[in-house]
Amino acid sequence: MERAKSRKPHIMMIPYPLQGHVIPFVHLAIKLASHGFTITFVNTDSIHHHISTAHHGDPGDIFSAARSSGKLDIRYTTVTDGFPLDFDRSLNHDQFFEGILHVFSAHVDDLIATLSRRDDPPVTCLIADTFYVWSSMICDKHNLVNVSFWTEPALVLNLYYHMDLLISNGHFKSLDNRKDVIDYVPGVKAIDPKDLMSYLQVSDKDVDTNTVVYRILFKAFKDVKRADFVLCNTVQELEPDSLSALQAKQPVYAIGPVFSTDSVVPTSLWAESDCTEWLKGRPNGSVLYVSFGSYAHVGKKEIVEIAHGLLLSGISFIWVLRPDIVGSDVPDFLPVGFMDQAKDRGLVVQWCCQMAVISNPAVGDQFTNRKLVVDDWCIGIDLCEKKTITRDQVSENVRRLMMDGETSSELRNNVEKVKRHLKAAVTAVGSSETNFNLFVSERRHRAMVAWRFAVSMAIDQGREERRLCMFSVEDIGGMHEFKQLGSSDEIRDSKIIQERRGLRLLQNTRSKGKFTIGVDDI
């Protein structure tokens, strides 16, 4: 029993193989490890290869520096996604996601089985990205606590969570989708169909919703409803309605923003340019940061119009343009002469350390995120009204954002309000820190049941090393100490009343209201 007390809960973490998902997973892994958890972090071979290439060589274990500096128990491994490293996942989008859907899970399954035989302490919990469709299946098979980590706004999760309502009301996946305002989704007061995620704006008349992307969406957001816990990288005060609606369904914890300002873990899939020297000496709030993230693709025509609009605006800017922003087979997408015209006030890079840039005082997406930023939080303006973008629109709205005295001042004041919410949430008594600690507490309690009292599926009356504990059924999941009984004879008249995740409870007919559990001598 003493050896059991020294064991730490062991969590396996598997981010979706995209830059914007890997980063919050890394930061959450560090935070959990700093709270005493053993972490096994799993990247795909491809993601690890990109990180290695971006950092000029194979870093091996990306957590080695964090482990040595913080004495954290974080173990790192990689598994194949089913494709060779030189396979173009961006160009062969659907084929790649078929592999994630059908092949990757088999490799994860094998890894967990291997670690179960080898690792001490054994893995007792899986934290997987919400977009994985197989989390509950693997957790059920290996008796793991199932935790889903959602890295986007809660509003997006809430809308995906209630896809069935959108379908039944004719706003999604009908022959001719309704165009009126959606006001029936729990936690969403009203939303225009044009503010739904792009995947939910299609009709059966226009798009085949039997493709791999839609199969993943339908399965993933059905599977998340089976999770024991859902962690959201957001703040309760910024999305109270969506979070409350989700929390009415299952345990959902808003623990964001999850980040580490002093992280020494390499996570970038592209070589990062250092923009700090270029930013030096530029007036506060004078530089516009333009980025389409790590996943989205933009048409060449739109890139050209944005480029001309930035030049017309006269505003200084940093523009992050991934090499595959249009497509990995389209290397030249900027207008001729753009770099020469922009060189005095514009910097174009393939990738940069985003936190370093947007936290610089000189620096002042997606449809549903647009609603949050523009309509709900009032910290941004629309670039265009969902129509073909033009350089004149870009120039006009960039000027409004950066130079219009009244508009710019109001936006900056609203940004300060949001910033205060974010800072308050991550203080010791803030909502996100409180939620994180609640999750940690719940996780420890479940771990205590899962491995400190790991029960054999058969009770061998003759084994002297077997011990018995007695506790009230309401104590399950929240107990710390148990009354130890004398011998296996106590369960002669018992019967199995519940079996879940390897835990066998046996009702003792001679002890009314109490339950007996067979426990290995650990």
Instruction: List the domain boundaries for the chain.
Output: 2-152+227-257+426-444, 276-424, 454-519
Lookup: tokens for 427: 């203080």
Residues shown for the chain: 522
Query: Could you tell me which residues are beta bridge partners of residue 483?
Result: 470
Write down the mean pLDDT value for the chain.
80
Neighbours of 390 (CB within 10 A): 15
For residue 176, what pLDDT is reported?
A: 86
One fold for 2-152+227-257+426-444 and 276-424: yes
Q: Which residues contact 410 (CB under 8 A, 6 or more apart)?
A: 378
Lookup: tokens for 98: 């078929």
Q: Which residues contact 422 (CB under 8 A, 6 or more apart)?
A: 235, 238, 257
**What mean pLDDT do residues 148-177 have?**
95
Q: Is the whole-model pTM more than 0.85? A: no
Q: Which of 62-66, 294-298, 458-462 is the least confident region?
A: 458-462
The yes-or-no verdict on residue 268 having pLDDT over 80 is no
**What mean pLDDT do residues 184-211 have?**
90
**Residue that the structure tokens 């004149």 belong to:** 392
Identify the CATH class of 276-424: alpha beta
Element (H, E) at 77: strand 74-79
For residue 509, what pLDDT is reported?
A: 39
The yes-or-no verdict on residue 515 having pLDDT over 70 is no
**What mean pLDDT do residues 85-111 have?**
90
Question: Does domain 2-152+227-257+426-444 sit in CATH 3.40.50.2000?
Answer: yes
Task: Supply φ then ψ for residue 243, to 5 degrees.
Answer: -65, -40
pLDDT tier at 250 (50, 70, 90 boundaries)?
very high
**How far apart (Å, rounded) are the C-alpha atoms in residues 286 and 116?**
54
For residue 111, what pLDDT is reported?
A: 95
Higher per-residue pLDDT: 447 or 55: 55
